[in-house]
Structure 1
Amino acid sequence: MQDQALSRWLSPLMAFCLSFIIIASLAPVVGIHADRQIDFWLLWLSTMLILALPITYLEIALAKRSKMTALNALSSLTRDADASQKWRLVGWLAVGFIPFLAGSILSNASQLLRQFAFHNVNLNLVFIGLAIAAIAISFISRKIIVLCTVIGVLVAIVVAQLQGTALGAWHVTPVQLSEWGSATVLALVASGLGMGLYWQTSLATIKQQDVATKTVLPIWIAQLLAVIAFGFFAVNSLVSGFAFVIAVLGGAALLLNLVREQLLERQFNLVLQWLLIVVALCVWIVPAMHPVLNTLLMLWGLIICLIYAIFAGWIMKISHLRKSMNFSNELFYNLWRIAVRVILPLSIIVAIFIIIGQGF
């Protein structure tokens, strides 16, 4: 009974931890690390509603429809939709993106660890040590990894609050178009959407639930709580820094655990599995490449979400996902369909152009 309860809450717990960790890693990249702008936070929260929530429904609906992890499921989903096999590429894009994202958050943690503890140690050595530790931890039970990550995140948040944060006061600034790109990245990429993570970890529970909302809302609320928690968080001491690094190690290990499971289920060559993971991690060793890699990270994550939105909204048959989501009211389904077919693609395309304009 306890095991079933833990399985039910695995995805929401993972959503809170991963969202918090990725947000904290990407926040300096998009320029909101310590500048608490009320207008930007409201914009960010609105994107959580109109962009992140529909994508979360999309992932769970595809999981309910396929009952397999994303990489395997796309083969059957494209057959059901009489769609080209080229759409299956999005699964491989996501699988490549997951360890790349893990490398990003480990890179951020290595800089933090060096700042608070290993001042005289080469940054590359710190990163390599964290990467090896994350790979080793990824072999532990997924539930244990999630629980350890939760503890690390909560300790980091509590200690930071007890010691007082160095964040500036909340203030209002004029809303700029460029902020839409940052808000979209934080709502989608930093929430771990498009990678099939919640799809993958929710498979055990969706078989017992008749409507997608019972799975979706706990995940989305957990993501939202991570956004709110980050608004009051800053690493300001050795203790909070170490706790956050432990949380990052758990988050990165969880990402690697999930991607290995997908590749194993796909019966992907073992040597190529590790080559993919190691290369995706090791590209972050060169600090001079980080600006380009961070831009690539944001674009890559958004493109995955864009392809899924187009596939679910325009390629799949209407009846398939309506049945999977099983909304109590037809209006809710129509609103979701408008969001996925129109609002999501247009919003992501605008965000992509903004990021390209800022990054290159």
Structure 2
Amino acid sequence: MQDNAMSRWLSPLMAFCLSFIIIATLAPILGIGAERQLDFWLLWLVTMLILALPITYMEVALAKRSRSTALNALSSLTRDADAKAHWRVVGWLAVVFMPFLAGGMLFNASSMLDGLALPQLALFAGLAVAALLLSLAPRLVMVGVTLLGVLASLGLSMALGESLPTWQVTALEFSEWGAATVLALVASGLGLGIYSQVSLNQVKHSDAASTTVLPVWIAQLLAVVAFGFFIANTQIPAMVFVVSVVTGAALLLNLARQQLAERQLPALVQWAVLAVAVWVWIIPMAGGVFNVLVLLWGLIICLIYAIFAGWIMKISHLRKALNFSNEAVYNLWRVAMRIVLPLSIVVAIISVLGKLLS
């Protein structure tokens, strides 16, 4: 009972912290600056409703069905669906993506410490070592420190930063759909199964998926609202924010290592996967390419999961796991997984590639 009570609030807090941190570190890549474009944020709100909410339900449904974490779950899920084993590759893509994303967070955060007059790669190396070591700390401690760092950096940025510009309405561009989709899916950590992983005890014993999904989804909404008031243009909030990035990255590494351990990989292999995926960011001049790879890799994971849950999984299995009170709600979710999510993600991938080539 104590574990259930802990996971009930731990998962939303983690969703708020990680969403805020990933959004803040990916925002420059997405071209989301200080401009407060009302039309873009309304578009993001739409993607949170029609894309992020269905895939959050999917994560919890798969965990509830398999009663295991994401990587380990795919073995039983593919057997239940009479699906070929190659669908399990999405689990490996996700578990390797987690330390790669952590490395990207640390690499981009290191650029905020330009006031220290040290090379960015040296700063990144120090942050990476700190994150790998901190990943051994208790998960509750990491979430608590991350939350304090996020709240402190947010408060300091509002107190010490410049005043926020006024809201404005601009013409929507095709590239903004890709940015909004990445913001709703990749920057919210969806497709990785991390929120159902933290809430696994609650997921196993809850009757309906909504009790786990809605608090996480609302926390993600609040994270983006908080980001709208965040300005890291002074050194003090930037340094405090980097501390939260390090602990947030450590949390991702901890979650990835747990999934690898549950697949009974040797400890040396677990640490090798984490270290290589993080330290690859130290390659000179590779940061720009890897930043784009983060966006595309995250979208591809969500796309494969959407196809698997929407077209490969058996309808009866998911209906029972979700346990919606209304059949119409389940049908809407099914349409979102089968049609809306795959098409939207493909459009977002085209948008990101188009922006890269332009």
TM (norm. structure 2) is 0.97
2:47 is the alignment partner of 1:50:
no
* 2:109 aligned partner, one-letter code: A
- 1:5 corresponds in structure 2 to 5
1:133-181: per-residue Cα shift (whole Å, max 9, x none)? 0011100000110011001000111111122435432211101111101
Tell me which of 127, 144, 149 is aligned to 2:146.
Answer: 149
Aligned counterpart, 2:97 = 97
1:259 corresponds in structure 2 to 256
Partner residue in 2 for 1:35: 35
Call closer, same or farther: CA 1:286–1:35 in 2, change over 3 Å.
farther
Aligned with residue 340 of structure 2, among 318, 340, 343: 343
Q: CA deviation at 1:287?
A: 4.9
Corresponding position: 1:203 with 2:193: no
Query: Which amino acid is 1:352 matched to?
Result: I
- How much has 1:3 moved relative to structure 2? 5.4
CA contact (8 A) 1:165 1:235 kept: no
Select which of 158, 167, 172 maps to 2:155.
158
1:278 aligned residue (255, 261, 275): 275
- Assess, with a 3 A threshold, how the Cα gap between structure 1 residues 49 and 287 changes in structure 2: closer, same or farther: farther
State the Cα RMSD in Å.
1.3
After TM superposition, give the deviation of residue 277 of structure 1 in Å: 1.3
Do structure 1's residue 308 and structure 2's residue 305 form an aligned pair?
Answer: yes
Moved over 3 A (4+): 1-4, 164-167
Q: 1:13-58 CA deviation, whole Å, 9 max, x = no partner?
A: 1100000000001110010121221100110111011100000000
Cα shift at 1:276: 1.6
Q: Does the residue aligned with 2:208 lie in a helix, a strand or coil?
A: coil
The 8 Å contact of residues 292 and 359 in structure 1, kept in 2 or not, is answered as no
Bigger drift between 184-193 and 349-358 goes to: 349-358
Q: Which amino acid is the alignment partner of residue 139 of structure 1?
A: L
| Rounded Cα–Cα distance in structure 2 between residues aligned with 1:186 and 1:329 | 29
Specify the alignment match of 1:222 in structure 2: 219
Aligned residue type for 1:109:
A
- Bigger drift between 6-15 and 166-175 goes to 166-175
Say whether residues 1:82 and 2:82 are aligned partners.
yes
Q: CA deviation at 1:259?
A: 0.4
The answer to whether structure 1 residue 169 and structure 2 residue 166 are counterparts is yes
* Structure 2 letter corresponding to 1:320: H
**Aligned-pair distance for 1:247?**
0.7
CA distance in 2, matches of 1:206, 1:199: 7
What displacement does 1:243 show?
1.5
User: In structure 1, the residue corresponding to 2:285 is in which secondary structure?
Assistant: helix
Partner of 2:61 in structure 1?
61
Distance (Å, rounded) in 2 between the aligned partners of 1:338 and 1:243: 43
**d(CA) in 2 for partners of 1:123, 1:164:** 23
Alpha-carbon distance in structure 2 between the residues aligned to 1:288 and 1:33: 23
Q: CA separation of 1:354/1:166 partners in 2, compared to 1, >3 Å: closer, same or farther?
A: same
Per-residue CA deviations over 1:84-121 (Å, capped at 9, x if unaligned) read 000000000001100000001001111112x23x11x2
Q: Percent same amino acid among aligned pairs?
A: 62
Q: Please, which of 183, 186, 198 is the counterpart of residue 180 of structure 2?
A: 183
**Letter aligned with residue 148 of structure 2:** I
Shift of 1:191: 0.2
Question: Distance between the aligned counterparts of 1:77 and 1:350, measured in 2?
Answer: 28
> d(CA) in 2 for partners of 1:165 and 1:287?
33
1:106 is matched with 106
Cα distance in 2 for partners of 1:2, 1:65 equals 23
Unaligned runs of 5+ in 1: none
For structure 2, the residue ranges without an aligned partner over 5 or more in a row are: none
Which segment drifts farther, 84-93 or 169-178? 169-178
CA distance in structure 1 between the partners assigned to 2:268 and 2:33 by the alignment: 39
Equivalent pairs, count: 357
Q: Which amino acid aligns with 2:73?
A: A
> Does the CA contact (< 8 Å) of 2:3 and 2:201 recur in 1?
no
Task: Give yes or no for contact 2:161–2:232 (8 Å, CA) kept in 1.
Answer: no
1:127 aligns with 2:121: no
Partner of 2:325: 328
Contact conserved, 1:44 with 1:183, CA < 8 A, in 2?
A: yes
| Structure 2 counterpart of 1:194 | 191
Q: Secondary structure at the match of 2:286?
A: helix
Contact 2:56/2:213 (8 A) holds in 1: yes
Contact 2:54–2:336 under 8 Å retained in 1: yes
